[in-house]
């Protein structure tokens, strides 16, 4: 095979690039994926009992009109269900509305005071220095109390790295900040303070989970352009040729990679060894998904919740999605069944006992009062992805600055959640747009925005 554009990976980034090429009337391209499905991490599975599961809670909220229009085209305007975010933190055997820091009035008086006192100390002794890492940013922004009660333990559970190993520059719209006046007012007036952030409302496919979107986009591109069960083994940039593990070769003029950058550099023949070594220093965490299919109805407290955060060490999961609340079609029969989808992170700094995780999860669901008895469980789905979260580590930006531009002389570009390793712009909308913007640059000479100016891209939210 010989093509103008070869695209490694049929996730949202690769499909975004392919869709845009097709839209511009260019058809000399191929998308190559090692799996037998499109969608990458944004895929869905149906288990033997008929429950649908995503790779962790995927919600749709977008920063781009282009993405919104494409979503409507993919599933039709009636193919979506719209939701008001209802997210909660489970702590001290009670639910606290998200964002936690604005709703501490729900806590016991001792814990509430600890959080408030930390904020007061911050106002007494403000720190103006630039934080060297995420832990410092947390301490400087929330004070000691909120840091110890929620921010530090929760972030360790999500990222699977101590917060001091993360940089402070990714935060942007991803973490709600707070102030003493607002928190105090909420306490005194018993006020819930809920509507923060870009995902205060979101949409979800009516049928087929998140994966249905990308199946539809694949069909819009034309599956004749997509090579599945085709794993890239090596790339010869001098010959401009890809070799697949089954021995097939594909010649290309320009290559877009979306597989994890550390792995990709190892496949790139002749790429400088010091850059390959640099790329291996990029950190990531793995994600375990345990889907629990249940019979009967959830308890009344859960009927309108979307997802819940779990900062306490006693539960293995950091987040649980009430997946049957996203769409009734995520379960075989909504009159009889409901579903919970848990996410647990893993890294060398936070090992997970894979053998016992499912049993540990069920035990914690009982302890956390989400289910009443094991006899409610009709199905357990277990999935692990090695690459789940691209860690915005302290050294990340320096590594990316060295490695990404060094690919360009070979006519190779790397984009997407793990292709460009930039968590700030690694949701489905960002990923698709990284692919689209890359094509706009290659074909029309329009500069890319999302990857190089994440703050600008994210500021477009709501417009």
Ligand X SMILES: Cc1cc2nc3c(=O)[nH]c(=O)nc-3n(C[C@H](O)[C@H](O)[C@H](O)COP(=O)(O)OP(=O)(O)OC[C@H]3O[C@@H](n4cnc5c(N)ncnc54)[C@H](O)[C@@H]3O)c2cc1C
287 belongs to the binding site for ligand X (CB under 6 A):
yes
- Judging by beta carbons within 10 Å of its beta carbon (0-12, 13-18, 19+), is residue 301 exposed, middle or buried? exposed
Write down the residue that tokens 């016991």 correspond to.
108
Q: Does 416 bind ligand X (CB under 6 A)?
A: yes
Rg for the chain (alpha carbons), in Å? Answer: 23
* Residue 91 CB, nearest approach to ligand X (Å): 21
Of 3, 6, 7, 8, which lies in the binding site for ligand X, with binding defined by CB under 6 A? 8
Taking the complex as a whole, the smallest distance from the CB of residue 430 to ligand X amounts, in Å, to 7
For position 218 contacting ligand X by CB under 6 A, the verdict is no
Least distance CB 6 / ligand X (angstroms): 11
How far, in Å, are 66, 176, 192, 367 from residue 430 at the CA level? 11, 20, 31, 37
Query: From CA 53, how far away is CA 249, in angstroms rounded?
Result: 35
Backbone conformation region of residue 114, classed left if phi is above 0, alpha if psi is from -120 to 50, else beta: alpha
Whichever of 99 and 416 has its CB closer to ligand X, that residue is 416
Cα separation, 215 vs 61, whole angstroms: 19
Binding to ligand X in span 355-414, by CB under 6 A: 388
In angstroms, what CA-CA distances link 56 with 262, 299, 319? 23, 22, 9
Return the sign of the alpha-carbon dihedral for residues 220, 223, 229, 234.
negative
The one among 3, 7, 18, 57 contacting ligand X by CB under 6 A: 57
Structure-token pair, residue 374: 């094991």
Name the closest residue to ligand X (Cβ): 40
Interaction between residue 59 and ligand X (CB under 6 A): yes
Is 10 one of the binding residues for ligand X (CB under 6 A)? yes
Three-class SS state of 203? strand
State yes or no: residue 32 binds ligand X (CB under 6 A).
Answer: yes
Tell me which of 5, 6, 14, 285 binds ligand X, using CB under 6 A: 14
Nearer to ligand X (CB atom), residue 100 or residue 326 = 326
- Which are the contacts of 222, defined by CB distance < 8 A and separation ≥ 6? 22
Residue choice 6, 9, 165, 218 for contact with ligand X (CB under 6 A): 9
Give the binding range for ligand X (CB under 6 A) out of 51-59, 94-102, 156-164, 305-313. Answer: 51-59
Q: Which of 379, 428, 440, 458 binds ligand X (CB under 6 A)?
A: 428
Does 41 help bind ligand X (rule: CB under 6 A)?
yes
Is the CB of 209 or the CB of 416 nearer to ligand X?
416
Count of CB atoms situated within 10 Å of the CB of 333: 10
Minimum separation from the CB atom of position 123 to ligand X (A)? 34
Residues that bind ligand X (CB under 6 A): 8-14, 32-35, 40-42, 55-59, 231-232, 258-259, 287, 343, 388, 416-419, 426-429, 431
């Amino acid at each position: 095979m010989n093509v103008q554009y070869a695209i490694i990976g049929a996730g949202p980034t690769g499909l975004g690039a392919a869709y845009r090429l097709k839209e511009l009337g260019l058809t000399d391209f191929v998308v190559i994926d090692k799996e037998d499905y499109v969608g990458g991490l944004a895929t869905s599975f149906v288990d033997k009992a008929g429950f649908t599961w995503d790779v962790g809670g995927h919600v749709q909220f977008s920063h781009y009109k282009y993405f919104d229009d494409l979503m409507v085209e993919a599933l039709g305007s009636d193919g979506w269900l719209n939701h008001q975010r209802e997210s909660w933190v489970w702590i001290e055997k009670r639910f606290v509305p998200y964002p936690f820091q604005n709703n501490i009035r729900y806590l016991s008086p001792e814990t509430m005071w600890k959080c408030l006192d930390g904020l007061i100390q911050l106002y007494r002794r403000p720190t103006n220095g630039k934080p060297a890492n995420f832990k410092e940013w947390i301490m400087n922004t929330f004070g000691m109390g909120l840091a110890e009660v929620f921010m530090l333990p929760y972030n360790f559970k999500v990222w699977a790295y101590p917060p001091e190993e993360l940089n402070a520059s990714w935060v942007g719209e991803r973490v709600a900040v707070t102030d003493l006046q607002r928190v105090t007012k909420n306490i005194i007036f018993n006020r819930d303070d809920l509507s923060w952030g870009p995902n205060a409302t979101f949409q979800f496919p009516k049928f087929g989970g998140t994966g249905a979107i990308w199946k539809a986009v694949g069909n819009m591109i034309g599956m004749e352009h997509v090579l599945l069960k085709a794993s890239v083994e090596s790339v010869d940039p001098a010959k401009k040729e890809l070799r697949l593990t089954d021995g097939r070769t594909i010649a290309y003029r320009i290559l877009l990679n979306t597989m994890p950058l550390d792995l990709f550099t190892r496949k790139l023949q002749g790429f400088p060894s010091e850059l390959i070594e640099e790329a291996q220093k990029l950190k990531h965490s793995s994600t375990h998904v345990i889907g629990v299919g249940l019979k009967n109805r959830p308890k009344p407290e859960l009927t309108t919740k979307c997802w819940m955060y779990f900062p306490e060490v006693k539960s293995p999961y950091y987040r649980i999605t009430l997946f049957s609340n996203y769409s009734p079609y995520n379960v075989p029969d909504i009159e009889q069944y409901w579903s919970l989808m848990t996410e647990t992170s893993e890294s060398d700094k936070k090992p997970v006992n894979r053998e016992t995780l499912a049993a540990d999860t069920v035990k914690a669901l009982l302890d956390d009062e989400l289910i009443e008895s094991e006899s409610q469980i009709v199905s357990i789905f277990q999935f692990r992805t090695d690459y789940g979260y691209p860690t915005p580590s302290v050294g990340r930006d320096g590594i990316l600055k060295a490695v990404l531009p060094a690919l360009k002389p070979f006519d190779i570009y790397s984009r997407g959640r793990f292709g460009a390793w930039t968590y700030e712009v690694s949701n489905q909308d960002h990923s698709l747009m990284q692919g689209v913007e890359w094509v706009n640059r290659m074909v029309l000479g329009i500069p890319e925005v999302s990857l190089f100016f994440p703050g600008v891209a994210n500021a477009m939210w709501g417009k």
